[in-house]
Structure 1
């Protein structure tokens, strides 16, 4: 005989309030969200697909960011670190490398017991929805917990309930296509082993891949420029190394040497690239719209339109520095409101339009601009900017401060968004000895 359990059940609303906030991504922004939730006394869990915290930052750790330390740390995180360990900010006017950012700030933050016990590494988020609901169902939707599907490090797949979801997964793992159409490049499967992601460590870890070979860097931004400078230096040291810069437009409009840029390292980048081109160390192939790739016996052939003609370009290695786009596949069952051009939240898009704004001219914004029709769901950090390359870490920190205040019911604090950014020219990245691909 089956006995009925007559114990009173909590209402759906009561249950939701007992669940943790789910944070996707354990990079600087995801961990800043965690720190703010610690201060608010709100439970959370962080899922990081990499096997280490800040896995994406580590992959370009040789790169020097544009921003100095004073613009790279989150206030709530600093308060927690200082109280727990006596942590001190490194030289506030110096720009660190990605590796230094992780070693001296992100890793110590993640190691704090109130955060480390809630971080799950090697945990890939496969999808987000509401419990028992696809995106078409409306009744009681806001009172229904989120359900986050996660594949753990051991391959087990489970659904995790949450009261809210903060997606800080970034865009580094979702590069734009090499094809000018935006679609997957025809013939990509044939040349995939010859294509590397943006910001390879050409003078260090990845040196053997480029030394003595022909490399073509595709892209018109600062990540491309940084890689080009590294390759030009490699060509000085390794005979047979050649460097080609392939861009779709007539010029690389995002690489600037503006004297008005307060991020001095970035301001110098454009002039350094110009000089390398003038010296013949970098060959520019402009106005080239890639339509197809193929490989015969050895070299890669990029086929495209250039000045009204179909042309071919042969190379050994291709660096895809065409920028990034948000991975929206895992959000198919979430009700999003995205701008049709840059794929950023609809209210945020006009504030970050790269045709109008640089990093430093983005207005302060918070939970209101990041709100979607799906109540309690937020995309923050680089991913919130969609395809716009104008993101600064300081902007992301203010985003998560506002969002977590809203989750705590502190609407006044959530609405009071303030942000002081460095004045900048155009947006993207520089390395000094290395290089970065976002505005930070």
Structure 2
């Protein structure tokens, strides 16, 4: 955007999660008035739904720098940067205090679910004078529909509330809707409020990311406490040996530990794993749910299902805007080559800002997880840099807007070639694919173990300096 916005109208921020509130903080710092529309009854309602989950990234990656400055000026005490917060702690100790700052609180509207965005007096077809017309945001509230005018829109509505279905083809599996009351999407509180739902039950978990891993480990703890609790893990490919992450070599230690614990769980025999199982249908029987794959294989006697299959953006609210999304990722179009999970992990995403996030609709930006569409490799720190660049562009500070810098820790579990490739890729693993050892992830790891060492874990390491690579890894 080449001109400074007219500041007589607010800039609408859709979503009061971490990225949305960071955008509001940057707007305040640049002299704009933010209008923050949040669908939930409180800020960060998506994080609130999994508040029991401890994140694998420490506080230093979870607090936006400008938001931090505003909070410190108000007397906030910053948490220990290396400590690992739960999602609930992020909400209570960071996001709620941030939203309570007067400059943000004045524009915060809770219980406002955005249902549509357009231009005042302009449908999608009309061009002349379009970019000078304000945006109209229509929201559903308890008091009925309301409309707001805005000079620009930063869409941080995310994807969490639109979970992907169980069906491998992107559609719900046959019978999925009828059995919805026995399916939990995301990360249920297995050891807390939903303990009785899973205790002593035969539970199937599907998915290959951190949500699936976290649920499996929680169920394993429950199984130690309640006999009869059984764990079944279903994945669509055959890459379980590479799903366990970078181990001790992971740039985020907690993420590496997560993978190591999951690997140990499988090796102990406490986890029943079904690879290359693509769910086609579900059927209720006298003995429980029968889960059928597309090859005819079945898993019987399932009591509960946890679907950790990712999420997708709600593209319907921009139906009357001129947006350009990637045809398969459903991400912002120019961003797609930089984040394609067939090629990139969380840690190999290149820096990107307002130019990659822009749409043909002048003044509209999708940021955060929504900008990534169906790609699962989004990190919170990425969203913070996105909104810094976007708000600088809205302010006309193109030098700052174009100075995009992004430092991300090397990833383990979400390494793209690990999670998506059907065949081993030598370049994704130090020293090439592992030989015959089941517990080794690559050649260097296997050689280290043959020498009596603990191995090195071997994630994809091309971006690490030699001094940062673990011993034994090429």
TM-score normalised over the length of structure 2: 0.84
**1:166 to 2:162 alignment:** no
Question: Does structure 1 retain, via aligned residues, the 8 Å contact 2:165–2:172?
Answer: yes
Question: Does structure 2 retain, via aligned residues, the 8 Å contact 1:229–1:273?
Answer: yes
1:73-222 alignment, distance < 5 Å: 73-85=63-75, 87-152=76-141, 154-222=142-210
Q: Which segments of structure 1 move beyond 4 Å, counting only runs of 4 or more?
A: 13-17
1:294-333 alignment, distance < 5 Å: 294-297=283-286, 299-306=288-295, 309-333=296-320
**Aligned with 2:336 (options 349, 353, 367):** 349
**1:37 is paired with a residue of what secondary structure?**
helix
Counterpart for residue 40 of structure 1: 30
CA distance in 2, matches of 1:310, 1:29: 42
Counterpart for residue 403 of structure 1: 390
Question: Does structure 2 retain, via aligned residues, the 8 Å contact 1:260–1:424?
Answer: no
**Aligned with 1:28 (options 18, 21, 29):** 18
- Bigger Cα displacement from structure 2, 367-376 vs 278-287: 278-287
Deviation at 1:294, TM superposition (A): 1.9
Question: Does structure 1 retain, via aligned residues, the 8 Å contact 2:163–2:310?
Answer: yes
Question: Does structure 2 retain, via aligned residues, the 8 Å contact 1:16–1:145?
Answer: no
Counterpart for residue 3 of structure 1: none
TM-score normalised over the length of structure 1: 0.90
**1:385 to 2:379 alignment:** no
Question: Does structure 2 retain, via aligned residues, the 8 Å contact 1:222–1:255?
Answer: no
CA RMSD of aligned residues (A): 1.8
**Aligned with 2:277 (options 267, 285, 288):** 288
Counterpart for residue 432 of structure 1: none
CA distance in 2, matches of 1:274, 1:367: 40
**Aligned with 1:267 (options 239, 253, 256):** 256
- Name structure 2 gaps, 5 residues minimum: 416-474
Per-residue CA distance 1:117-164 (angstroms, 9 max, x = gap): 111111100111112222222221111111111012x24102211111
**1:339 to 2:350 alignment:** no
Question: Does structure 1 retain, via aligned residues, the 8 Å contact 2:354–2:393?
Answer: yes
CA distance in 1, matches of 2:350, 2:283: 44
1:366-385 alignment, distance < 5 Å: 366-385=353-372
If asked which structure has higher relative contact order (CA below 8 Å, sep 6+), I would say 1
- Name structure 1 gaps, 5 residues minimum: 1-12, 429-440
**2:83 is paired with a residue of what secondary structure?**
coil
